[in-house]
Structure 1
């Protein structure tokens, strides 16, 4: 986390600019002097809670906006840092790499040798995309059955019962992307 006074200053400047206010206009709206606002924006002053409340009230923003970390244009995720959902005893581990967002979710799945996981049909608008990273995966879709090897992929409408199986003697790892064509 950045030093708090730097973070507050950057957020204040961003808020002021998003409202198209000059320092003079912000000072008039908040009752905090132009030199003080400038010092806060440059991270040269550590404002008191009272001063921040005056600024928040004058600019009509929540108090916590000044302490908000900026959103990044990227997000790093590793299954090592995630707690998996267990199925089939502990023979199936599902890691939610990116939870439901707008219309999709991305899962990382480990199937131990011998694991067979039946999955009931999903609503008509759900498609699944499977990409095998390691091992061999048998996927049964309705009555159809196919075998996917490392590097192979499959897309299907998930509105039928389907099943994932690892009938090999080594772990199978695959990525599962679920796309919801209708918002939940």
Structure 2
């Protein structure tokens, strides 16, 4: 998807995303989220978001996490199972899958066909995802959704730390209410 820009990514990021389309490749990375946070305003969005399997509903610091990635050989999509281990709670699974839709664009889907269109770039060794709007896939048609008015814009990056570790951060920032959600931490990529 990145073409020649693939080589602009840090080596640890390339190792992390070695997954080949239409294969049965998989990888698990483990780490600690230094912070998982949402604003007081965003707390109102969490109940409906949980119906769709979106947004982490808890706050915490130093939250152990593992992320299981696997490619589906039948359709080439990458599936994520992000497992957050908040103290005193059962593991929280944030499930999604990503589909390449042309050029540097992907859509990350949650339940019921709701997705976020993202532009993917390589910047200073990091893999960066920038929100291009939300959609609802109905009967094979991607219908734009004005969810950006509620959630704001997403920014996600995975940045090399050293040969075996990378940092990750995600923010949802609303134009009027500022930052609504954020989480970030460090991960290790095993050999």
Normalised by the length of structure 1, the TM-score is 0.24
Question: Which structure: greater helix fraction?
Answer: 1
Question: Which structure: greater strand fraction?
Answer: 2
Which of 1 and 2 has higher RCO (CA within 8 Å, sep 6+)?
Answer: 2
Higher-Rg structure is 1
